[in-house]
Amino acid sequence: KGKQVDVDLSNCDREPIHILGHVQSFGCLLAVSSDWIVVHASTNCAEMLGLDPEEAIGKPFADFFSPGSIHDLRTRIQALAYQTGCARMFGYEVFEDGRYYNVSMHRSDQFLVFEFEKTTLSSADQDDTGLVQALIGRVQRHDSVEMASEEAARAIQALTGMDRVMVYRFDEDGTGTVIAEVLKGRGEPYLGLRYPASDVPKQARELYKKNLLRIISDVNSETYPILPKIGPSGDPLDLSLSVSRAVSPIHLEYLRNMGVQASMSVSIMRRDKLWGLFACHHHMPRNLDYKTRSTIELFAQLFNYELAQIEMAQEFNDLDTAQILHDKLMSQISGGVTLLDIFNSFSDEIRSVIPFDGVVVYSGGKFKASGMTPTEEEFMGLARFLNTTKGSQVYATDNLASRYEAADSFEDRAVGLLALPISRKPRDYLVFFRRELAQTVTWAGNPEKPVELGPHGARLTPRKSFAAWKEVVHGKCASWRESELRAAETLRVTLIEVVLKLSDEAEADRK
């Protein structure tokens, strides 16, 4: 278990956000031991349930709840025995006195945890399944990740009424990009911007895999401590699966600095990986009924499947393209053509599988370049460096200067490369170049003065985060993706075949 640490901006990922010991104002919490003795209670149980927490702790649950209620709760939670996650009841009349609650139940270590939120019967009656079907139907019309994401953001906005809904996609290294955004009214767009990994620190990303939706209903509202702070076994209550868990003060400051009063995020999963988040903001406090939140969670789970389909189709497509490319290349080879000629007619097709900003073909001592590349002279030096790498596979770097210092003084700022050795001795190459990533992403919109900055200042705003990210990635290009490297390897094998065939033909011509 994590210990309480002093958290500042340099150790974001050490804040133990699952044991902060408070709930938000919209929910109250009770934890019982396996023999149903109350072990923990949040202080707002008094106001929300009419149950004095100090008095309840140590007493049987049955002293406060009727046999009928206990039976209902027990039945639900038993269904959870072999499963993680929460059991839910909507619009349940816990005390049979006209007060309705939404109840969430889950296991946390040896405890059962109950969370209660006030609700009305009418919201429990509402049936959203038709709406979800219609909304996911719209998403299904799209075959690109970006378009489907935008449609899904629109759907989440329809379900929540939040001002801003973004789809935030994680990269392998934990950095993230806003790839879709729906904005109501005025506001600085964040679409297309990248943020450092620490903006959604590691432990938060881990937590968001287990607990798929969290809402921060009011960043300025009081939070309520869970008593006692340390339980009987010497640990604070683990709130990983709690729905009313109060959030990190650092993140609250981030939201306040942005002028956001309520926030909600929903995990987007691809298999067991956190692919991204729906991140939603509202300029006023906003609480969404647990039933609505569950509907949104369901929508997100359906969206996960759509996303997987789109991405899989895309991967098949890329494989097809590589195969088609191979066949086309092989069929075009005939007397008199050179590798350079061939490359010219295929560079667009290659670019659609492996995006690049410049390319050099270096074959038989001839140099040919297009786009953002080093000069011929610079390239000759680079080729000598490449000759020191393995000749039997592709070589990729997103930060060339860190491997080959002379690249620092290249005239054109191509900072990363992917090299395909296509013959052994002397070595010929096809080399793709990429420009600096920070230059390919630019800040959108006008700077807007943050409302009022908290103690950690402007660093805790998206604008400063973006700047921080730019610093981190200075001198780097977009990383070469796994799928791009695979495509490059396939292409390399094809090109070797091409080269062999060309030299065979040249041989035949000579005879």
The residues that touch ligand BLA, with contacts defined as CB under 6 A, are 9, 12, 15, 17, 178, 190, 195, 198-201, 204, 214, 216, 247-248, 250-251, 254, 263-265, 277, 279, 460, 462, 465
Supply the minimum distance, in Å, between the C-beta of residue 15 and ligand BLA: 5
Supply the minimum distance, in Å, between the C-beta of residue 217 and ligand BLA: 11
Supply the minimum distance, in Å, between the C-beta of residue 386 and ligand BLA: 37
Supply the minimum distance, in Å, between the C-beta of residue 199 and ligand BLA: 4
The residue among 243 and 247 lying less far from ligand BLA, judged by its C-beta, is 247
The residue among 200 and 430 lying less far from ligand BLA, judged by its C-beta, is 200
Supply the minimum distance, in Å, between the C-beta of residue 249 and ligand BLA: 9
Supply the minimum distance, in Å, between the C-beta of residue 452 and ligand BLA: 17
Backbone φ and ψ of 395, nearest 5°: -125, 130
Supply the minimum distance, in Å, between the C-beta of residue 207 and ligand BLA: 6
Rounded (10°) angle between helices 129-139 and 145-160: 160
Supply the minimum distance, in Å, between the C-beta of residue 499 and ligand BLA: 47
| 3-state SS, residue 456 | coil
Residue among 429, 422, 213 at smallest CA distance from 300: 213
Supply the minimum distance, in Å, between the C-beta of residue 73 and ligand BLA: 26
The residue among 187 and 228 lying less far from ligand BLA, judged by its C-beta, is 187
* DSSP assigned state of 55: H
Looking at the DSSP bridge assignments, the partners of residue 270 are: 273
Distance CA 314, CA 251 (A): 35
Looking at the DSSP bridge assignments, the partners of residue 369 are: 360
Supply the minimum distance, in Å, between the C-beta of residue 275 and ligand BLA: 14
The residue among 102 and 198 lying less far from ligand BLA, judged by its C-beta, is 198
Asked whether the beta carbons of 39 and 57 are under 8 A apart, the reply is: yes
The residue among 34 and 442 lying less far from ligand BLA, judged by its C-beta, is 442
Supply the minimum distance, in Å, between the C-beta of residue 100 and ligand BLA: 27
Distance CA 111, CA 32 (A): 6
Residue among 489, 487, 485, 478 at smallest CA distance from 172: 478
The residue among 117 and 318 lying less far from ligand BLA, judged by its C-beta, is 117
| 3-state SS, residue 70 | helix
Distance CA 27, CA 489 (A): 55
Backbone φ and ψ of 433, nearest 5°: -120, 150
Q: At 135, which helix (H) or strand (E)?
A: helix 129-139
Residue among 145, 106, 4, 11 at smallest CA distance from 456: 11
- Residue 230, classified by CB atoms within 10 Å of its CB into exposed (0-12), middle (13-18) or buried (19+), is exposed
The residue among 20 and 307 lying less far from ligand BLA, judged by its C-beta, is 20
Backbone φ and ψ of 183, nearest 5°: -125, 125
DSSP 167-194: EEEE-TTS-EEEEEEEE-SS----TT-E
Supply the minimum distance, in Å, between the C-beta of residue 9 and ligand BLA: 5
Omega of the bond leading into 374 within 30 degrees of 0 (cis): no
The residue among 195 and 299 lying less far from ligand BLA, judged by its C-beta, is 195
Asked whether the beta carbons of 256 and 31 are under 8 A apart, the reply is: no
Q: Where are the alpha helices (DSSP H) in 213-289?
A: 249-257
- For ligand BLA, which residue has the nearest CB? 12
The residue among 250 and 359 lying less far from ligand BLA, judged by its C-beta, is 250
Task: Summarize the chain as % helix, strand, coil (round to 5).
Answer: 40, 20, 35
Looking at the DSSP bridge assignments, the partners of residue 69 are: none
Amino acid at residue number 250: I
The residue among 5 and 493 lying less far from ligand BLA, judged by its C-beta, is 5
Supply the minimum distance, in Å, between the C-beta of residue 116 and ligand BLA: 21
The residue among 213 and 487 lying less far from ligand BLA, judged by its C-beta, is 213
Residue 81 gets the label, from left (phi > 0), alpha (psi -120 to 50) or beta, of alpha
Asked whether the beta carbons of 428 and 499 are under 8 A apart, the reply is: yes
- Spatial neighbors of 39 by CB under 8 A, at least 6 apart, are 31, 32, 33, 57, 111, 231, 232
The residue among 458 and 493 lying less far from ligand BLA, judged by its C-beta, is 458
The residue among 116 and 195 lying less far from ligand BLA, judged by its C-beta, is 195
